[in-house]
Chains A and B, each alone.
Chain A
């Protein structure tokens, strides 16, 4: 016979009340655990994905959107930029490394990124099977993308316009998978990498060696432009006024966000324009015979500084003296996390309200049960229990309720994050796991136990102060 057995037996006397108290505590605990795990992993993921990237060059528009699209591949790009102009900044002595990115297409929701192998090196990516690309239309696939899309070395697939399923498919020019990457735990896992040439060849028919002009025109005549851009574009008007014989002159105007208006769009158009979902392009006048290297466009350029000191002057210089936007991921991520943090703080406050409610409920339950157990308490003193033993016996009951709630809440929180993580990875490509333990959870347990102690303290003090003779005379 132990105090633990006595406490459990006493709690068992009012099973329903005890169960409600445990559930309340579990609900609060699970909510906080869920927020901690998601918030922490979100922050870690964002930091990890932005590691080694000091600055992002992109088209004029929102710096946050530029970073979200070019670093995290979580938003539509702000538009395209002139490769030559971007390279001029990349050659600035203050820049150590520069990685160009060309976006616009996807395969089964996984973005196809035209870039250089340096992009893989940024995340320490290693080939699990196959090799890196060596020519146009060769692709290397991230681990998650490969498994989810069923791609392996030797597979072929057609990229589709836009970043969601349902975009126009480039069926006549197929990518061939030449490599699959090891899992990196970064955004790279969800990407399909290829050379810049692949993107240019696919979207610039005038210079493409793979496709004839006639084929290109045929394909594009059949395009449904709204479909090509999926949910991300809303082409209000498709005017033929840009239909010069090469179809390369266009005027894209757009807005940020999910709704993008493309006011004017030639039937024969340059797909590079489609890369930028937020289009704020000045007119691009292209020569009648297509693009030269100087005319190439990319979506963004990822830069790293030679020295942190560069952060003081370079972004401002780029923003004030060029048509480009220079956005620092560290700054923009902080801004995003602050915005998310406001929401998380609100949810966290709500979770703590649940926990305090659970504490009050435990207090009410113990206090109520103490009133009906006054005779028991007095008898225990008659049998030789000391005041302090009775104090701790009541405290133990409160702690047991709290501990059961905590354990149930921890389990529920971790399971929820694991399930949520699996679902998000499938549907959004964002990965969370519940199979981790954060140091802050240990502190959380201590805090929650303190709530349990506080809830049981007053009933415990009452047990300590029980007047045995008076209680025995009065107790039923």
Chain B
């Protein structure tokens, strides 16, 4: 069973066809970079994979589950349990500390990893020193690591990242992708990175040129 399986997926904002993917599949543990220029619909594709958008046609299956069959709270719970999301702007909860942000993700995923697991994860990602800091006190790199910790805390089988290198220089871009790849690989999860950054090409198991898929 594939971890991700997409068939004839189409999504449009009004009359403008944004996503048109005939076939896309990933085996468990595989990592892929979905690469395409800005505005080509990559983020919409990611949102479709995460069940945040509903396609006009086609299907998305994650871990054998057709997302079209999930509605409302059951979709939210499926996403919380099985997906780890690292977004371009991180969206760490401003009122909470790094540690609390990670604990909150654990709670919402109903994973019950607990404080010790969180502390171990923060240490592994080398942000244990800022565990009690609010997001506003973090550097870009620390915030990114915190977002990765939040995406991995509940050990999801699939991790998705949206433009994780967009604001980073070459050195840090490679470091960020390496960090994601290693952390996800360690957890045995599938990784999908959506980016317009050509520097990512070749860093993961596969590259998927989004513009060329239609």
Name A residues whose Cβ lies closer than 8 Å to a Cβ of B: 1-2, 5-6, 9-10, 12-13, 373, 375-376, 378-388, 468-469, 472-473, 475-476
Contact B91 A472 (CB under 8 A): yes
Residue of A nearest to B110 (CB): A384
A1 to B72, CA, bound (A): 24
Contact B43 A1 (CB under 8 A): no
Residue of B nearest to A373 (CB): B94
Of B55-63, B79-87, B184-192, B200-208, the one with at least 4 CB within 8 A of chain A: B79-87
The A-contacting residues of B in range 106-144, CB under 8 angstroms, are 106-110
Assess A375 versus B91: contact at CB under 8 Å? Given A386-B76, A387-B76, A469-B52. yes
By CB atoms of chain A within 10 A, which of B53, B92, B95, B106 has the most?
A: B95
Assess A383 versus B109: contact at CB under 8 Å? Given A1-B104, A6-B96. yes
Contact B80 A385 (CB under 8 A): yes
Name B residues whose Cβ lies closer than 8 Å to a Cβ of A: 43-44, 47, 50, 52-53, 72-73, 76-77, 79-81, 83, 85, 87, 89, 91-96, 100, 103-110, 150
Ranked nearest first, the 6 interchain pairs of A and B with the lowest CB-CB distance are A384-B80, A9-B95, A379-B91, A1-B103, A384-B108, A386-B73
Residues of chain A within 8 A (CB-CB) of B76 are: 381, 384-387
Residues of chain A within 8 A (CB-CB) of B93 are: 6, 9, 376, 379-380
A191 to B79, CA, bound (A): 77
Shortest CB–CB separation between residue B32 and chain A, in angstroms? Answer: 20
Residue of A nearest to B88 (CB): A472
Residues of chain B within 8 A (CB-CB) of A380 are: 93, 104, 108
Residues of chain A within 8 A (CB-CB) of B83 are: 382
Residues of chain A within 8 A (CB-CB) of B43 are: 473
Contact A384 B95 (CB under 8 A): no
Residues of chain B within 8 A (CB-CB) of A473 are: 43
Assess A375 versus B104: contact at CB under 8 Å? Given A383-B109, A384-B80, A388-B73. no
A383 to B89, CA, bound (A): 15
Residues of chain A within 8 A (CB-CB) of B92 are: 379
Residues of chain B within 8 A (CB-CB) of A13 are: 94-95
A128 to B107, CA, bound (A): 65
**Dominant SS among interface residues on chain A:** helix
Residue of A nearest to B101 (CB): A1
Residues of chain A within 8 A (CB-CB) of B91 are: 375-376, 378-379, 382, 472, 475
Q: Which of B81, B87, B106 contacts A1 (CB 8 A)?
A: B106
Residues of chain B within 8 A (CB-CB) of A384 are: 76-77, 79-81, 105, 108-110
Q: Which of B79, B87, B100 contacts A5 (CB 8 A)?
A: B100
Shortest CB–CB separation between residue B10 and chain A, in angstroms? Answer: 16
Residues of chain A within 8 A (CB-CB) of B107 are: 1-2
Contact B44 A469 (CB under 8 A): yes
Q: Which of A5, A387, A468, A475 contacts B52 (CB 8 A)?
A: A468
> Can you pick out 11 interface pairs between chain A and chain B where the beta carbons lie within 8 Å of each other?
A1-B106, A6-B95, A12-B95, A376-B95, A378-B91, A380-B93, A380-B108, A381-B52, A382-B85, A468-B47, A475-B89
Contact B106 A10 (CB under 8 A): no
By CB atoms of chain A within 10 A, which of B96, B103, B106, B110 has the most?
A: B96
Shortest CB–CB separation between residue A420 and chain B, in angstroms? Answer: 40
A429 to B96, CA, bound (A): 55
Residues of chain B within 8 A (CB-CB) of A476 are: 89
Assess A386 versus B87: contact at CB under 8 Å? Given A9-B100, A373-B94. no
Shortest CB–CB separation between residue B193 and chain A, in angstroms? Answer: 16
A469 to B76, CA, bound (A): 13
Q: Which of A6, A12, A469, A472 contacts B104 (CB 8 A)?
A: A6
A475 to B94, CA, bound (A): 13
Contact A383 B73 (CB under 8 A): no
Shortest CB–CB separation between residue A214 and chain B, in angstroms? Answer: 89
Residues of chain B within 8 A (CB-CB) of A475 are: 89, 91
By CB atoms of chain A within 10 A, which of B72, B80, B91 has the most?
A: B91
Residues of chain B within 8 A (CB-CB) of A385 are: 76, 80, 108
Residues of chain A within 8 A (CB-CB) of B110 are: 384
Contact A1 B100 (CB under 8 A): yes
Shortest CB–CB separation between residue B116 and chain A, in angstroms? Answer: 14
Task: A6-B95, A379-B91, A382-B87 are known; give 17 further A-B pairs, CB within 8 A.
Answer: A1-B96, A1-B103, A1-B104, A6-B104, A9-B95, A9-B100, A380-B104, A382-B50, A382-B83, A384-B105, A384-B110, A385-B108, A386-B72, A469-B44, A469-B52, A472-B47, A472-B87
Contact A383 B94 (CB under 8 A): no
Residues of chain B within 8 A (CB-CB) of A383 are: 80, 85, 104-105, 108-109, 150
Residues of chain A within 8 A (CB-CB) of B79 are: 382, 384
Assess A469 versus B95: contact at CB under 8 Å? Given A1-B103, A5-B100, A383-B80. no
Residues of chain A within 8 A (CB-CB) of B105 are: 383-384
Shortest CB–CB separation between residue B190 and chain A, in angstroms? Answer: 17
Residues of chain B within 8 A (CB-CB) of A376 are: 91, 93-95
